């Protein structure tokens, strides 16, 4: 290990750092999202968290997810009318949703969001730009 290696901050510190009380439930929900980057829905997060914390309630999972999204530790991803799914990848990226239901992160080149912003009329400022591909992949 050299000193330039990026050491991920412990979960509890990341929560505190943005003003969220680091409760066991929030830590576990966040940990579950970070441990497998497959864009789970609230129900799926609930199922995974229950394995390690059987007393958690679905409402608390929703509350934790909402807190994480609101504090920008996690992104909520909506596609058509499907249940919201959650993504801990904070780099600018799009999502590819295939017909089988899986979701892949698509990294965006640095200038892509600027190019898109340049299309807006004056007086319009975008805080967030969401790009969703829908189609088929060879994994289907």
Partner DNA sequence: CTATATGCAAATAGTTTGCCTGTTA
Partner DNA sequence: TAACAGGCAAACTATTTGCATATAG
The strand pairing partners of 106, in sequence order, are 94
Choices 48-56, 87-95, 98-106, 120-128 (CB under 7 A): range interacting with DNA: 48-56
Binding of DNA by 21 (CB under 7 A): yes
Rounded to a whole number of angstroms, the minimum distance from the CB of residue 115 to DNA is 30
Q: 57 touches which of DNA, a second copy, none (CB within 5 to 8 A by kind)?
A: DNA
Rounded to a whole number of angstroms, the minimum distance from the CB of residue 87 to DNA is 13
Structure tokens at 38: 């497959």
Nearer to a second copy, 12 or 113 (CB): 113
CA atoms within 13 A on the CB side of 11: 17
Measuring CA to CA, how many Å separate 122 from each of 29, 112, 114, 125? 40, 19, 14, 8
Rounded to a whole number of angstroms, the minimum distance from the CB of residue 73 to DNA is 13
Cα of 44 vs its chain's centroid, Å:
14
What residue ranges bind a second copy (CB under 8 A)? 76, 78-81, 84, 94, 96, 98, 104, 106-109, 112, 115-117, 119-121, 123-139
Task: Give the separation between CA 136 and CA 100, rounded to whole angstroms.
Answer: 8
């Amino acid at each position: 290990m050299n000193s330039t290696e990026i050491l991920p901050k412990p979960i509890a510190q990341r929560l505190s750092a943005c003003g969220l009380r680091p409760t066991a439930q929030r830590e576990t929900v966040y940990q579950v999202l970070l441990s497998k980057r497959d864009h789970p829905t609230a129900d799926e997060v609930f199922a995974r968290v229950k394995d390690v914390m059987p007393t958690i309630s679905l409402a608390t999972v929703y509350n934790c997810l909402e807190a994480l999204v609101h504090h920008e530790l996690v992104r909520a991803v909506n596609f058509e009318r499907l249940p919201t799914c959650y993504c801990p990848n904070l780099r600018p990226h799009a999502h590819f949703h295939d017909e089988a239901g899986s979701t892949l992160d698509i990294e965006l080149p640095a200038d892509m969001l600027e190019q898109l912003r340049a299309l807006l009329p004056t007086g319009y400022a975008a805080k967030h730009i969401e790009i969703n591909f829908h189609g088929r992949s060879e994994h289907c």
